[in-house]
Structure 1
Amino acid sequence: MSEENETRAVLEAACLRAGLDPAGAELVQLGENAIYRLRGRFIARIARAGQAVAARREVQVARWLEDHDVTAVQALRDVAQPVEVDGRPVTWWHELPPHRHGTALQVAHKLRRLHDLPLPDFDIGRLDPFVRLPERIDGATTLTDADRTWMRQHLADLRARHEELPSGLPHSVVHGDAWIGNVVSLDDGEVVLLDLERCSVGPPEWDLVSTAVKAFTLAGITVADYGDFAKVYGHDVMTWPGFETLRDIREFRLVCMAAQVAGENPERADEAALRLACLRDQRGPRPWRWTAVS
């Protein structure tokens, strides 16, 4: 059975249990999550097996943000979520109107608002910057055994460095994956947070590092954009002694994601190999020109 047929079967079973109609469901994305558009402007999101806790937390966080007037993707209120089918959690969301990636300034404003919120009264979990990395390394089948051995050792080194992080900003609710693609702008100017599955309690620096990586690792925004971001947020994470550790972890996550995607789609093998070579100092200094994978 193809992956699309498999996820469509999961969708139909989950909709039946939730009292929703899957007829005419349109596949929007087949990647880390399978995304389907349902009639009535609803979105079904099918996560990978073993992600039920994260899916449940994502729904709770979305409702909590709505209650605190922080604009984010909205989970359906009248549906018990998530529904698990064959170990895969399915959640349902209101579809966003037309939108585009946010700007660094919009990310800064949204993160400032998020980080200033009081902690929720439910267990939101603690940030794990290494979540799912061992599985992604194991699934990096387009890389050599020697490459995977290096990745496992690098992961161990990063864990050790993370244990020695210096103190920084007070811990708060963090988004967990706060790059400009997960903060979008609607046509009416409203700014919306997406992909809440990694929201947790942790160091705000983890969220701030993503924009620094976008600017100085990937050259995806300008240095001036980053300066505006830091000024609006009120803190420049690059001045913090722990910056390089969190930057290196974030970069490694991008490498592991590409390796996982390549394992499922060998056409992405060259990108995974390029990213790994950059991390191993074989492609010169930053910034590196990486191509998006999905």
Structure 2
Amino acid sequence: MDAAFTEQRARALLALTDAAGSAADAELLALGENAVFAVGGLVAKVGRDASLVPRARRELRVGAWLEDCGVPAVRPAASEVLIADGHPVTLWHRLPQAVRPASPADLAKLLRRLHALPAPGFGLPRRDLLGGVERWLRLAGDAVDPADADYLRERRDGFAAATAALTPHLEPGPIHGDALPRNVHVGPDGPVLVDLETFAVDLREHDLVVTALSRDRYGLDPEAYAAFVRAYGWDVREWEGCAVLRGARETASCAWVAQHAPGNPAALAEFRRRVASLRDGDPAVRWYPF
């Protein structure tokens, strides 16, 4: 991974593409696994490193497939991935300005439509929720306590085995993989799914545990969670496997924050808060989005 993946680096990569317009005038929308820029009527996603090229290609196929299925989602503006110094760049139609924030109920309605679909005609991976743990901990380096890193590795291995042994309540199939209201955009025509890079074919419960965890860890209003359950039609907390998927996601979330710890005291403090709550076995300690 490019550890120096800054806004300036991403702009330089964007400038190497032919279809991005003026990179200097592009508006940065987000900087994470991708740098996301608004460029005129398009959105350009610049991948952090070359290893993300296959995922970028898959995300474009998912966008086209959802369009064919009539599921409201962000639409690709080009069918091929552009390559800039090895980094993937994908182009998307820019969505109109949001009319309001997305709610958990908006997300639930979209998940119902998605979860009604059979698997597409192209391959989708399993939801490798824990696959990034080693990479994120490696990026954290000496900024985090080695004992905490080893603890998360042990949790990763245990929850990976436990997840593989789960018996689902719902029929497995296509899932979003990171089903949060922040990945729903509510425009004049209603809610649409965005950030399609984690699409997979796996347990549908993956998409539901996210909101249950938001209720327990991130301060989601219980009434908003109840609206999510009503809109979807089932509460994943009734499923005996819920605690396993929750534990896997908590492990991944801790490691994800760790990668931001070098040079970022707020990230380090949040990492320590999360790991301490897991070590203490306290499922109610408040975590803060990062």
What TM-score does the superposition give when structure 1 sets the normalisation length? 0.90
Q: In the TM superposition, what are the counterparts of 1:167-246 in structure 2 within 5 Å?
A: 167-186=168-187, 188=188, 190-222=190-222, 224-246=223-245
Assess if the C-alpha contact under 8 Å between 1:140 and 1:148 holds in 2: no
User: How far apart in 1 are the matches of 2:23 and 2:73?
Assistant: 24
Cα offset, 1:292, TM superposition: 2.0
Segments of structure 1 that go 5 or more residues without pairing to the other structure are none
Deviations 1:219-240 (A, max 9, x none): 2232x32223223212211111
Q: Quote the residue 1:279 is aligned against.
A: 278
User: How far apart in 2 are the matches of 1:140 and 1:19?
Assistant: 32
What TM-score does the superposition give when structure 2 sets the normalisation length? 0.91
With over 3 angstroms needed to count, the CA separation of the structure-2 counterparts of 1:286 and 1:201, relative to structure 1, is: same
Cα offset, 1:264, TM superposition: 6.0
With over 3 angstroms needed to count, the CA separation of the structure-2 counterparts of 1:210 and 1:2, relative to structure 1, is: closer
With over 3 angstroms needed to count, the CA separation of the structure-2 counterparts of 1:170 and 1:4, relative to structure 1, is: same
- Of 4, 12, 15, the residue aligned with 1:12 is 15
CA RMSD of aligned residues (A): 2.0
Paired residues, number:
284
State whether structure 2 residue 129 is matched by structure 1 residue 140.
no
User: How far apart in 2 are the matches of 1:191 and 1:264?
Assistant: 37
Assess if the C-alpha contact under 8 Å between 1:174 and 1:200 holds in 2: yes
Assess if the C-alpha contact under 8 Å between 1:219 and 1:287 holds in 2: no
Segments of structure 2 that go 5 or more residues without pairing to the other structure are none
Cα offset, 1:255, TM superposition: 1.1
Q: How many percent identity over aligned positions?
A: 36
* Superposition misfits of 4+ residues, deviation over 6 angstroms: none
Q: In the TM superposition, what are the counterparts of 1:248-287 in structure 2 within 5 Å?
A: 248-263=247-262, 265-281=264-280, 285-287=282-284
Q: Quote the residue 2:58 is aligned against.
A: 57
Cα offset, 1:266, TM superposition: 4.1
Cα offset, 1:2, TM superposition: 7.2
Q: Quote the residue 2:128 is aligned against.
A: 128
User: How far apart in 2 are the matches of 1:51 and 1:85?
Assistant: 12
Deviations 1:154-175 (A, max 9, x none): 1111112112212321111100
Q: Quote the residue 1:149 is aligned against.
A: 150
Question: Which stretch shifts more, 152-161 or 204-213?
Answer: 152-161
User: How far apart in 2 are the matches of 1:59 and 1:37?
Assistant: 17
Cα offset, 1:243, TM superposition: 0.6
Assess if the C-alpha contact under 8 Å between 2:218 and 2:289 holds in 1: no
